[in-house]
Structure 1
Amino acid sequence: MATIKDVAKLAGVSTSTVSHVLNKTRFVREETCDRVLHAVRELNYRPSSIARSLKVQRTNTLGMLVTASRNPFFAEIVHEVERRCYERGYTLFLSNTEGDIHRMETNLSALEEKRVDGLLLLCSEVNDDIISLLEADRSVPIMVFDWGPESDNVDRIYDNSPAGGALATRHLIEMGHTRIGCVTGPLKRRSAKERLGAFRQAMEEAGLDVREEWIVEGDYDCSGGVKAMGTLAALQERPEAVFACNDMMALGMISQAARLGIRVPEDMSLVGYDDIYISQYTVPALTTVHQPKSRIAAMAVDTLIDRLDSKRTKGEIIRIEPRLVERESVRRV
């Protein structure tokens, strides 16, 4: 494999001149540039990214840790993060922790040893061990999605769950529904608590009663939606409309409703949350709260890179605004 010394010898210049030509760090005469570039092509020379990173203290790589999740929302976020990294000239190293705190700690250390410039964390479940791990001093800046320790050192990007929950509930009310239920996510999760809180507030503002038996705690998975629909269907009086706090549970509810002979939206209207790709292809197509996944990913990557460029030390909180996507799962009364 050719070295910079080989290029310099063939071009008849110094190694520093080769470096200036390739990195455009100093003016070099056109004739000399042509000789250097000709030598680079003839020798098929590839600059050492390791050597360059040691010199400039940047590797143009980011690491991303993802906990195991069957929710396509996470896969869509990862896809968009990789796309934005490519657009910004960065390489993404992806690690799946499978929800194991020891594996997460090992992967964090491995990524730091690879000298990644920054870390992005996308976790479906959060516990005290994970938060403690993040609160420890890290050698690189960290961006977390949707959650995070209350730390000045960590950047966080949130969806505006209160606004999204209000959009979903108000849409059902505006469509004429008054008997409305809610299937929440795990109530230990910030997003689940905020979406339920927004549901309660929107109902109160509309002068509508909240029936506690129509509020079912789910798990943000299809199985939770199946179970929730079974619970609601077994009630002597069931709601005519439901806000499901994510699309996966809404899909499970639609599936179970068909098995139980409950028609959506004729017998029960349904609004989801996230606008995952498949939600537009369900029968009926799901009305849902859209989270701008490409924008979330772009802002996460851009904020991390901008922090590296600006040498900013204090973390930022970024909130993303959702919008409602109307499809076929809500009927007008």
Structure 2
Amino acid sequence: MATIKDVAKHAGVSTSTVSHVLNKTRFVSEDISVRVIAAVETLNYAPSALARSLKVNHTRTFGMLVTTSTNPFFGEVVKGVERRCYEQGYNLILCNTEGDLERMRANLDTLLQKRVDGLLLMCSEVDGQAFDLFARHQPVPTVVMDWGPIDFPSDKIQDNSHHGGYLATRHLIEQGHTAIGCLTGPLDKLTAQQRLSGYIQAMEEAGLGINKQWIASGNFECEGGEIAFNEVYAHGKLPTAFFICNDMMAMGVINTASKRGIKVPDDLSIVGYDDIKLAKYVTPSLTTIHQPKHRLGQQAVDVLLEKINHQREGHTVIQLEPTLVERDSVKNLLS
């Protein structure tokens, strides 16, 4: 494999001149430039990306830590990240933490050894203490995406989960429902807490009582919806509607309710959260709260680039607003 020294020898110039021609870092006469380019083509020389990155102190590579989940939400966000990285000429190294502190530490060490220019974190199941790891590695620019601790010192891109929970519950109320339950995600997660608080606000504003037996938590997966629904079912009478704090749990509820002879929406109305692609293909198609997942990923990359390119101090928090998507899983009791 040809080296820069081989190119310089073939063109009859110094290695620094070859570097200036290839990187356009200094004026070089047209005659010499032509000779250098001809030598590059003749020798089939490819500059070392690693050597260049060491010289200019950046690799045009980002690292992303994400917790494995069967929830397509994560995959759709990652797709937005990857697409924006490609558009901006960056590579993405994706690492799976599997919710394990040691796995996270090993992944972080690997990314730092590869001299990534920035980090993107979407680690929903890792204990908050794990984020102390990242504080020790500042000033590597870091963006926390959606499911991270709110007090971690970094830029953040977040969904307005409280407002989303409020929108979902208000929609059920506007359709004539007064007996409304809420199946939440794990309540040690900020997103689950905020969606529940949005539900509570909408109920209180409407002057509706909250039956604590109609509130249960799951794990943001299909089986979590099944478990939470069965917990409420065991108490006896069901509400006429549920706000379920993500689509995967909502799908678990639809399946479990069907097995018990409970039809959605005839017997039970449901609003989910996330608007994953599968939501419109289940039966009935799911009324849900749309999160701009691709934009979440794209915005995270843009914030990281802005911080790197402009060496911005301090931390930015960007909040993306959710919207209601009406489909077929809510029955209108007023008509």
Normalising by structure 2, we get a TM-score of 0.94
Q: Distance in 2 between matches of 1:291 and 1:197?
A: 18
Alignment of 1:281 with 2:285, yes or no, is no
Q: Distance in 1 between the 2:32 and 2:324 partners?
A: 60
1:252 alignment counterpart: 252
Secondary structure of 1:55's counterpart equals: helix
Normalised by the size of structure 1, how large is the TM-score? 0.94
- 2:149 — aligned with what? 148
**Structure 2: segments with no counterpart, 5+ residues:** none
Correspondence for 2:101: 101
Contact 2:101 2:126 in 1 (8 A): no
- Name the structure 2 match of 1:120: 120
| Residues in 1 aligned to 2:95 and 2:101: alpha-carbon distance in whole angstroms | 13
Q: CA deviation at 1:286?
A: 0.8
SS in structure 1 of the partner of residue 89 of structure 2? coil
Matches within 5 A, 1:1-333: 1-146=1-146, 147-148=148-149, 150-152=151-153, 154-333=154-333
Distance 1:22 1:261 in 2: 70
Deviation string 1:219-276 (CA, Å, 9 cap, x unpaired) is 2111111122223334432111110000110010011111111111111110100111
**What is the DSSP-based 3-state SS (H/G/I as helix, E as strand, rest coil) of the residue aligned with 1:93?**
strand
Aligned-pair RMSD on alpha carbons? 1.7
Stretches of structure 1 lacking an aligned partner (at least 5 in a row)? none
More deviation, 291-300/221-230 = 221-230
Work out the percentage of aligned pairs sharing the same amino acid: 56
Cα distance per residue 1:265-313 (max 9 Å; x no partner): 1111101001112111101111111111111001111111211111123
Question: Residue 232 of structure 1 contacts residue 238 of structure 1 at CA under 8 Å; is this kept in 2?
Answer: yes
C-alpha contact 2:216 2:229 (8 A) present in aligned 1:
no
In structure 2, the residue corresponding to 1:289 is in which secondary structure?
strand
User: C-alpha separation between the residues in 2 aligned to 1:149 and 1:320?
Assistant: 15
Local SS of the residue matching 1:158: strand
AA in 1 matched with 2:208: L
What amino acid maps onto 2:78 in structure 1? V
